[in-house]
Structure 1
Amino acid sequence: MTVFVIRRLMQSLLVLAATAVIVFVGVYAIGDPAEMLIAPDATPAERAQVEASLGLDKPLPVQFLAFLGNALHGDLGRSFVFNQPSISLIFERLPATLELALVAILISLVIGIPLGLIAGLKPRSVTDETIMTGSILGFSLPNFWQGMMLVMIFSVWLGWLPSSGRGPTGQIFGIETSFASWEGIRHLILPATNLALFKLSLVIRLTRTGVRETMPLDFVKFARAKGLTERRVVLVHVLKTIMIPLVTVIGMEIGSLIAFGVVTETIFAWPGIGKLLIDSIMRLDRPVVVAYLLVVVSLFIVLNFAVDVLYSILDPRIRLGRN
């Protein structure tokens, strides 16, 4: 187990280092932030002064070495627009994005697993066809269109839920969250639902497939032969078996929810890191874009590492096969 963990840590560090190089070169080779920050009537001397203060007058390799040295000390540069450390901007907005992603994955699990079980236990029935048709719609319809329809129906037509913003927040166990007030929860429902729809469809299909593959196996027949109720067979034996692929996929999907929640955060004006990324790209705020990408990649690496370790605990054959 120790060798397995050490190998995974080394691989994670290599991925992070390669990502830092690719992201920096890709982002810093695009556009000129000075054009966005300096007034059109500025003199060449004023322009040179601003570029020197931002470090834009140095060659790209020199900028990268300076960035790398600062990054090793936890400094990913200062925002050109906000004039504060870019990493602090990311961490200010990150709790809102994490809250949105966790609620979205919770919605997809609480609804998706039961629906997948029902569909898998009643194949080719009307119930199965209805559930699977709904899951196809969740896959097929664009995320931005789903978000606009949710706003149109529940905010504009029915007036039940607010259409934008995070709403008032409060502290629960010292954590700033929307769950501290009913108004905050109301603001959270629509964006979390929009973000959860694709993952909900994925969980339904994974659960259904797992049930269909597990039900004919010998250990399920043996459990029934022992006289166990169908409920116990499904909830204990079948569900435990299908949780291994579900844990793997869900662990990675949490990362994708954080990384690709940009559309949802933009539609619902949710003050997370996704909206910050869009604003920074529009303003060519390079340090914030680089910090965002590195933080998100780090989250992916951590989640991937946690999933690998958990997977090896659930199925020791994986650990033994890779040592």
Structure 2
Amino acid sequence: MLVFLLRRLMQACFVMIIISVISFAIQGKLGDPVQQMVGMSASPAERAQLREELGLNDSFISQYWRFAKNVVHGDLGMSYYYKEPALDVILKKLPATLELAFCAIILVILVATPCGVIAAIRPRHLFSRFLMILSSIGLSVPVFIVAIFLVYLFSVKLNMAPSFGRGQTTEVLGLWNSGLFNKDGLSHLILPSLTLTIALMPVFVRLIRAEMMEVLQSEYIRFAWSKGLSAPRIYFLHALKNTMLPIITVGGIQAGTLIAYTILTETIFQWPGMGFLFMDAVSRVDTPLISAYLIVVGGLFVITNTLVDLIYGLVNPTVRLASHGL
């Protein structure tokens, strides 16, 4: 276990270095931040002086070395627009994104698991075929189309849920504000979390169905039937447990890409999270904030992948984490 953790730590450091280089390299391709900061009224001399103060005239190596040293100390730069440390700006928006992702993941688990199991147990049933049709449609329809349709149906036509904003929030333990603990906040969570759920659920339904159908044909399942075990115990304990490894793998990847999905979702629903902040930073050419966002998201990916590998050992003790290498 210790060898595995050390290898994962080395890999994580290497990945984060690559991410930092890429995120810093694209800064010069997004436009002139000086123009965004001072507008058209500033004279060329004032712009040149500001570029010199920001260190934008230095070589790429010098700028990156200065950037890397600051990142090691937790300084991801100063936002040009907010005039605050970029990391602080992102951390203020992080709870909203994590809250949205958490609700979507819970809904996916609660809905996709029984649907996938039912589709595997009775693959020719009308309900199973209906699920497969819906999952095919869900894989084909872009997430922003789903979001617009839900807004039109539940907000415009039925007036059942608000279509934008986060709503009222409640302070939790003095650490962060959450909308999970009041009615208004929950009502604002419905449509964006449902959008993400619809975007992710087809993958899990089809994966659980495929893995379950394969496992149900194995010898130990036939032996369980011959012992007279109950159907729920066979399906949800013995069979479902042995489909978890590929599901955890895909789930870990999807949990990371959920951050990417939230960019569109948060923009459509005006959800004040990291995705909406990123789009706002791109429109303002706030390059320190963009770089900080990419580094934070990359760190979340690395942490998620490490946790997935650790969960392998809990689900299946025969998996030797130390032998994974990567």
Which TM-score band (shorter chain)? over 0.9
Mapped to 2, the partners of 1:269 and 1:85 lie a distance apart of: 23
Shift, 1:48, TM fit: 1.8
Query: 1:74-99: per-residue Cα shift (whole Å, max 9, x none)?
Result: 00000011111000011000000000
Query: 1:218-241: per-residue Cα shift (whole Å, max 9, x none)?
Result: 110111111111111111101111
**Contact residue 5 and residue 309 of structure 1 kept, 8 A:** no
* 2:10 is the counterpart of 1:10: yes
* AA matched with 1:238: A
* AA matched with 2:106: L
Mapped to 2, the partners of 1:216 and 1:270 lie a distance apart of: 45
Query: 1:39-63: per-residue Cα shift (whole Å, max 9, x none)?
Result: 3232122112222332223222221
**Contact residue 312 and residue 319 of structure 2 kept, 8 A:** no
What's 1:39 paired with?
Answer: 39
> Structure 2 vs 1, CA of residues 42 and 173 (structure 1 numbering), >3 Å: closer, same or farther?
closer
* AA matched with 2:144: F
Mapped to 1, the partners of 2:217 and 2:108 lie a distance apart of: 27
* 2:60 is the counterpart of 1:54: no
* 2:226 is the counterpart of 1:228: no
* AA matched with 2:27: V
Stretch deviating more after TM superposition (145-154 or 308-317): 308-317
TM-score computed with the length of structure 2 as normaliser? 0.95
Shift, 1:173, TM fit: 4.5
Mapped to 2, the partners of 1:317 and 1:40 lie a distance apart of: 61
Mapped to 2, the partners of 1:30 and 1:82 lie a distance apart of: 18
Which residues of structure 2 form unaligned runs of 5+?
A: none
Mapped to 2, the partners of 1:49 and 1:168 lie a distance apart of: 44
Query: 1:141-175: per-residue Cα shift (whole Å, max 9, x none)?
Result: 11111100000000000001000000000034444
Q: Secondary structure of the equivalent of 2:91?
A: helix
Query: 1:295-316: per-residue Cα shift (whole Å, max 9, x none)?
Result: 0000000010111121134333
Instruction: Count residues in correspondence.
Output: 323
* AA matched with 2:239: V
Query: 1:176-197: per-residue Cα shift (whole Å, max 9, x none)?
Result: 2111210110000000010111
Stretch deviating more after TM superposition (122-131 or 36-45): 36-45
Query: Map of 1:1-323 to 2, 5 A cutoff?
Result: 1-174=1-174, 175-315=176-316, 316-319=318-321, 321-322=323-324
Shift, 1:38, TM fit: 2.0
Same amino acid, percent of matched pairs: 39
Q: Secondary structure of the equivalent of 1:260?
A: helix
Mapped to 2, the partners of 1:208 and 1:27 lie a distance apart of: 44
Q: Secondary structure of the equivalent of 1:317?
A: coil
**Contact residue 93 and residue 272 of structure 2 kept, 8 A:** yes
Query: 1:92-116: per-residue Cα shift (whole Å, max 9, x none)?
Result: 0000000001111111110111111
**Contact residue 78 and residue 84 of structure 2 kept, 8 A:** yes
Shift, 1:251, TM fit: 2.1
Mapped to 1, the partners of 2:324 and 2:258 lie a distance apart of: 29
Which residues of structure 1 form unaligned runs of 5+?
A: none
Mapped to 2, the partners of 1:322 and 1:269 lie a distance apart of: 42
Shift, 1:29, TM fit: 3.7
**Contact residue 54 and residue 80 of structure 1 kept, 8 A:** no
**Contact residue 90 and residue 292 of structure 1 kept, 8 A:** yes
Mapped to 2, the partners of 1:21 and 1:320 lie a distance apart of: 29
**Aligned CA-pair RMSD:** 1.4
